[in-house]
Amino acid sequence: MLLKVGELAKKSGLTVRALHHYDAIGLLTPSARADNGYRLYNRDDIARLHRIQALRGFGLTLADIGAYLTQPDKPLSDIIARQIAMLDVEIGPFFHIAVSGDKELTMDQHDASESTEPGQHIPFITHGSYPRRGGNRVWPLVDSGPAFRRICEAVELAQHSVWVTVTFVATDFQMPDGRGSIFDVLDRAVERGLDVRVIFWRPNPESSGYGQTFAGTSTDFDLLAARGSRFLARWDRAPLAYCHHQKSWLVDAGRSSETAFVGGINPTFAAVEPGHMGEGQRHDIYVEITGPSASDVHHNFVQRWNEASERNMALGVWAHGSDERLPFPTDLSEARGNTVVQIQRNVHAGCYSDPHAAPGCAPYQIDIASGERSITGQYLLAINAARRSIYLENQALPVPEIAYALEEALKRGVHVVLLVPGEPEEYVSLWRQRPERKPFFDRLEVLGQYEHFVLTGIAGKTRSGDRAYVYVHAKIMLVDDVWATIGSCNLHANSLFGHSEMNAAVWDRDVVRALRCQLLLEHLGQDTEHLDDQWAMQLYQRIARENAARWEVGDVDWQGLACSLNPATYGESKAR
């Protein structure tokens, strides 16, 4: 696939002049030229441009980006350190700690409680769509059974509206406790007079076959008609082979009962309960948010609804007119708790153009038409600020930028646990066979050389009494027991540099520590409430290694679920 400069400009959201400038300074040189001299860009060029845009979203200059891209083996730590120093200056107007006396915290319209102050060494994004906001109540929901049960309860208690963004969905997926399919849940809400809206992702040809989707085909429309479904729906494409990967639920948007759910769980497989007994188990997480930050989930939905790519296309809308627009929220939800939250997004260039700011915010600090990568930037900020521990759960192995940052943290003595699927996805096994992908796995092997790092999976008991890996689909990171991110963003290049994603970053010692204890109680079979975060990570590393050694000799009667994986061979074979 070769794109002319005009085509690439349109797809990327940049101007032709900007691409010419990137060529002139050697930042992005097209791989080919047509006979008439036109610039032609191939897939590698496009991937490089996505990386440039992501680093620009992090606030790097073109010179810094060029220097980094010409030395891909060089860690980002020096550049990141300069960015953090700049952030310290930018933080001044938003976050002030008095030189003497009590600590003074100013963020938006709500003050954070003292319980969040220990996490303030974790910087926050200042160039994204949404600010940090205090006054929230957050409730992590572990695994699809509890998560969808709570979401359904919120929908059943809704008084005004239910708005949903969906990536992957199976029409026969059953909600917990006999509630039926997702369409049954939505149809019942409509019958109660609620305003129910869904934004479905519509794949491009390049991304077709990527998961189970409700793409808005004629067959899909026939299904809705046969059901008599009256909820409103729009379909939305993402550029190129990327997808709109946000998975959010918003109940009673703009009302006093406004409640948001942000995470990565798809209604595609059977609802799974904690404990992971039996075959076909999956591990995943959502987070419920009430308070001011729910208004930012509201803003995101309105922006996507109003500019959904297919709204003027055939089979692009259901049960309403294509010219209908939702108003942006004007007021923040009232404070509901003491937790500081920042809603963060990755948005591909060219998806949206309306610069309408979120409530209580100055006009956009970024050009949304050029995209946003605040989740990617926040991951790097948090890893580089870690002092004691990093706990990661992710469907994907980290890209080199993240792996380099993790290595720098390990050099500082930070303990790192990385939980991934025990049986790698098919592409990982394919990459293991390709020599050009060796540098990717080299970074993982380097991490494995540190004693205080462990790559691990989880495996539950089957009905036959054996063990089977639980598929890890969660996308979270906990740092120093004081900060967490929970959402839809994987650590592969597509999520970090291409897909649309949404995460909630949380600054709250009590919430983060409680989540860590909940997860480790299941994974290790031990209560770690009495341990600090670093001791808890050491315990995880020890138990995971012991369990892996026992499983290797056929002993499946071991503690918890965690079992370490070999970074040097991960992906070589699905068989143990």
CATH number at residue 166: 3.30.870
Q: Quick one: 314 and 359 in the same domain?
A: no
In a domain, residue 174? The reply is: yes
In a domain, residue 149? The reply is: yes
**CA separation, residue 243 to residues 22, 54, 159, 205, 296 (Å):** 26, 16, 31, 11, 21
Q: Quick one: 430 and 571 in the same domain?
A: yes
E strand or H helix that includes residue 186: helix 182-191
- CA geometry: angle at 343 spanning 337 and 348, to 5°? 170
In a domain, residue 526? The reply is: yes
- 407 three-state secondary structure: helix
pLDDT, position 13:
67
pTM: 0.81
Cα 310 from Cα 220, distance rounded (Å): 15
- CA geometry: angle at 487 spanning 482 and 493, to 5°? 110
Domain count along the chain: 3
Q: Quick one: 393 and 519 in the same domain?
A: yes
What is the domain range of residue 33? 3-52
- DSSP-derived secondary structure for 227-289: HT---EEEEE--STT--B--EEEEESTTSTT-EEEEE---TTS----TT--SSS-EE-EEEEE
Q: How many residues does the chain have?
A: 576
In a domain, residue 282? The reply is: no
* CATH code at position 24: 1.10.1660.10
In a domain, residue 521? The reply is: yes
Q: Quick one: 443 and 389 in the same domain?
A: yes
Q: Quick one: 381 and 460 in the same domain?
A: yes
Cα 495 from Cα 216, distance rounded (Å): 23
- CA geometry: angle at 279 spanning 278 and 284, to 5°? 90
Q: DSSP class of residue 72?
A: T
From first to last of its 576 residues, the chain has per-residue pLDDT tens of: 688 888 887 777 677 777 887 887 888 998 888 878 788 988 888 888 877 877 765 556 677 788 778 776 655 555 555 555 544 443 333 333 223 233 332 333 333 333 335 568 999 998 899 999 999 999 999 999 999 999 999 999 999 999 999 999 999 999 999 999 999 999 999 999 999 999 999 999 887 677 899 999 999 999 999 999 999 999 999 998 999 999 999 999 999 999 999 999 999 988 999 988 888 899 999 999 999 999 999 999 999 999 999 999 989 999 998 889 999 999 999 999 999 999 999 999 999 999 899 998 876 566 788 899 999 999 999 999 999 999 999 999 999 999 999 999 999 999 999 999 999 988 898 999 899 999 899 999 999 999 999 999 999 999 999 999 999 999 999 999 999 999 999 999 999 999 999 999 999 999 999 999 999 999 999 999 999 999 999 999 999 999 999 999 999 999 899 999 999 999 886 545
Q: Quick one: 26 and 168 in the same domain?
A: no
Q: Quick one: 520 and 447 in the same domain?
A: yes
